[in-house]
Amino acid sequence: MQRISFELPLLFKQAPCRNYPDYSYTSRIDSLSVTIPGVIANESKMSIGGVYSMLFRAGHARTEYYLPPEEFFEDYKEYLSEHSSISRLVTAGWVDWQGGRCARFYSDNDTDLFVRRVLDYFCWESVSGSNFPIHIGASEKLPPGHVPANLDKELIEPVLASLQINPVPEQRLALWDSYRADFCKGLKESYDNKTAMRRFRDNLNRQRAILFLRECGYQMPDPVGPRSWAELLRPNGQLIGRSDGERTLRKITHAQFSELEAKLMSLQLKPGKRPDIRSSRLSRDGNVLVENYRATGSYAGEWFLVPPSYSEQNGVGIRNDPVLGRVIDVYLMDFPAGLRIVGE
């Protein structure tokens, strides 16, 4: 690799090569993956792939790397927490090593077929000239009941003990800086134009974009409003203003409605056009699809595309209904189709 050199742990050095991409190196981002493949199977399921794997990244592979250590730690911890269905975050903390300090994250996931354990170290140093952390990751997939490896002692620590940092050539540092400049420019344009930047996860109030843009050198306002739709529409875990098509409706108090409308309008909404909305359910016998809600044609109010995705397939609307009064219509993924919120 261009930035680092090290000795692989004995587990990998002693493993035989097989008809599998055991080693994969990408020079553009100075990234190496090493895998010991295998098969895990029971009576009904099978997993073919890496039983033991290690990942070494020394370049600009993730946007998180643009953040300073403390901000990176909190941001990556939130990322792992959001992806708990893939791997559950167990511990997150800091450890010292001979060249500096590393953020350590351990997560696991117990499936019916195997237990997946993942350990990630992100280490900062002052030799190479790069501000990006060095990422050293180790993972294993083992059938339940098998004795797990000590990922710290057997995999990560031998690498850290042998790790040598190489000064990165000026041309390579300039290339990585150009990637960062392009990222900053693209993120600022997406923020200003209220569009989504590809593969950049964000919060409802654009909090993450603001964090990164400040690191890019832009003067940005503090984020305003709730961070998630659940926080806004499911306070205390209960959905506000449930609606099943046009049949049932639960109102909220006038004060709750006014507060909700104010929070919505504080977000970076973008004027848009309501999409045609159709939702269906299976009949009781399970044989046919029955349409249970439809909304087509122009919208009798103001319709907004919503952050962070600004997808034309999602949005909220605010209108004055001649019977119900002020109404908020919601069409978002993970919420009931035809959700209406009405104040008493």
Position 150 confidence tier, pLDDT thresholds 50, 70, 90: very high
What CATH number labels 4-168?
A: 3.40.1000
Instruction: Average the pLDDT over 81-92 and give the result.
Output: 80
Q: Is 121 helix (H, G, I), strand (E, B) or coil?
A: strand
Of 210 and 11, more confident: 210
Res 49 pLDDT > 60: no
Amino acid letter, residue 25 = Y
Res 19 pLDDT > 70: no
Of 264 and 116, more confident: 264
Position 85 confidence tier, pLDDT thresholds 50, 70, 90: low
pLDDT (0 to 100) of residue 48: 58
Question: Mean pLDDT score of the chain, rounded to an integer?
Answer: 87
Cα separation, 150 vs 152, whole angstroms:
6
Backbone CA torsion sign across 209, 215, 216, 219: positive
pLDDT (0 to 100) of residue 333: 87
Res 125 pLDDT > 90: yes
Position 46 confidence tier, pLDDT thresholds 50, 70, 90: low
Position 13 confidence tier, pLDDT thresholds 50, 70, 90: confident
**pTM, entire model:** 0.84
Instruction: Average the pLDDT over 320-337 and give the result.
Output: 88
pLDDT (0 to 100) of residue 244: 54
Q: Are strands 289-295 and 277-282 parallel, antiparallel or unpaired?
A: antiparallel
pLDDT 10s digits, 294-316: 888 899 999 999 999 999 999 99
The answer to whether the CB of 295 falls within 8 A of the CB of 274 is: yes
User: Which range among 128-142, 167-181, 280-294, 309-323 shows the weakest confidence by mean pLDDT?
Assistant: 280-294
Q: Is 216 helix (H, G, I), strand (E, B) or coil?
A: coil
Position 229 confidence tier, pLDDT thresholds 50, 70, 90: very high
The residue behind tokens 């009064």 is 325
- How far, in whole angstroms, is CA 118 from its chain's centroid? 17
Cα separation, 108 vs 167, whole angstroms:
35
Position 277 confidence tier, pLDDT thresholds 50, 70, 90: confident
Of 239 and 6, more confident: 6
Q: Are strands 315-321 and 325-331 parallel, antiparallel or unpaired?
A: antiparallel
Instruction: Average the pLDDT over 74-96 and give the result.
Output: 86
Domain ranges of the chain: 4-168, 171-215, 229-342
Position 279 confidence tier, pLDDT thresholds 50, 70, 90: confident
Specify the DSSP class assigned to residue 197.
P
User: Which range among 7-21, 67-81, 163-177, 224-238 shows the weakest confidence by mean pLDDT?
Assistant: 7-21
pLDDT (0 to 100) of residue 147: 79
Of 307 and 235, more confident: 307
Res 20 pLDDT > 70: no
Instruction: Average the pLDDT over 278-282 and give the result.
Output: 77
Res 123 pLDDT > 90: yes
